Amino acid sequence: MAEIRIRDNESLDNALRRFKDKCRKTGIFAESKKRRYYEKPSEVRKRKIASRKKGK
């Protein structure tokens, strides 16, 4: 879980920006997008195979 401490004389906007940056760097946003909908195991395999083919 990402956590920041608000500094002295720091505006809420700056603290929110730092929090969003920290979440982005740790991959929390990407993980939440990936888990937004259930994906069947067969769909996961198909997606991984397709990504391997594109990588070549």
Q: What is the pLDDT of residues 8-56, one digit of tens each?
A: 999 999 999 999 999 999 999 889 988 899 999 999 999 999 989 887 5
- pTM more than 0.85: no
* Domain range annotation of the chain: 12-55
Query: According to the model, what pLDDT value does residue 8 have?
Result: 94
Enter the tokens of residue 56.
Answer: 């070549």
Query: According to the model, what pLDDT value does residue 43 have?
Result: 92
Query: According to the model, what pLDDT value does residue 56 have?
Result: 59
Query: According to the model, what pLDDT value does residue 2 have?
Result: 85
Give the pLDDT band of residue 1 (cuts 50, 70, 90).
confident
Using the CB atoms, write b or e for 3-36: b if 16+ within 10 Å: eeeeeeeeeeeeeeebeeeebeeeeeeeeeeeee
